[in-house]
Amino acid sequence: MTTSSTAFDIRRIGGRIGAEILGVDLSGELAPAVVAEIDSALLAHKALVFRGQNLDDAGQLRFAALFGELTSAHPTVPSVDGQPGILPVDGEEGVRANRWHTDVTFVRTPPKASTLRGIVVPPYGGNTLIADSGAAYRDLPEPLRELADRLWAVHTNDYDYAAPKSEKAAEHRKRFVSRKYRTAHPVVRVHPETGERGLFIGGFAQSIVGLGPSDSRDLLRIFQSYVTRPENIVRVVWAPGDVVLFDNRITQHYAPDDYGDLPRLLHRVTVAGDVPVGVDGERSRVLEGDDASHYTPAAA
């Protein structure tokens, strides 16, 4: 189905999440009204796909900056050479994000939104899956929703990873945990713009505050199973030049490791966010590590 807007068309690509934006050239200057419409579409659909844009690094940075201040590439992992705001997502490095996660939730102020740009895309596989954590919350039976509303989870970048498969992967792991972060976030985050509640967990959420390891794993597994229900997921099939924009505050994503030794390279630019707030109005808090002010201008 295609719905008309004053500036572009929106074609839904998932039943609950995801839309393609048709008729917008991101390489040109976008009028403020168009940016506002894209932002509204992002709030409504949570993940937007712009096909065949063929931006360069400067163009991607310019587009992402329309939605707020930018973060640096990552709190611990190096950026693209000469581009401190761009993170290379490189499958050739043996480091593949084949686990469900929300970007950088181990710091107190995770990104508002992420942009991904397809540069080298394998002929098969290498898709990106994006899940609607707001729909997942609504899917919970009422007793589980009431429980989730009261819980907090500890997110960290330093946990029991699987053994790296290569020297490059081992080096990436070493860099990834070169600064240790532990942050307590609400299991249910209230979206700062829409007020929608969503499950704010994913791969960096390792334990539940006040519970032991076994109970924590069991509860997180139950909540996560609702996030990753097929009904709540959209699959983005990449082509070179495509750009994806998703709301990091109410989604998770996953990159299946299904393309063998083929090259895959995306560039990621993220928009600074705010401190998550729970149902009771309490804000996330740092448990270990610094405030990541070197990473995000919104750290205060």
| Residues marked as catalytic | 101, 103, 253, 268
C-alpha 260/C-alpha 122 separation (Å) is 9
Element (H, E) at 133: helix 133-139
- Is 247 strand, coil or helix? strand
Question: For residue 167, what are the contacts with CB-CB under 8 A and spacing of at least 6?
Answer: none
C-alpha 190/C-alpha 248 separation (Å) is 13
Of 189, 159, 202, give the one whose Cα is nearest residue 288. 159
- Is 56 strand, coil or helix? coil
Burial of residue 211 (number of CB atoms within 10 Å: 0-12, 13-18, 19+): middle
Q: 132 φ, ψ to 5°?
A: -95, 105
Q: Tell me the three-class secondary structure of 91-127, residue by residue.
A: HHHCCCCCCCECCCCCCCCCCCEEEEEEEECCCCCCC
Q: What end-to-end distance do the CA atoms of the chain give, in Å? A: 42
C-alpha 129/C-alpha 69 separation (Å) is 26
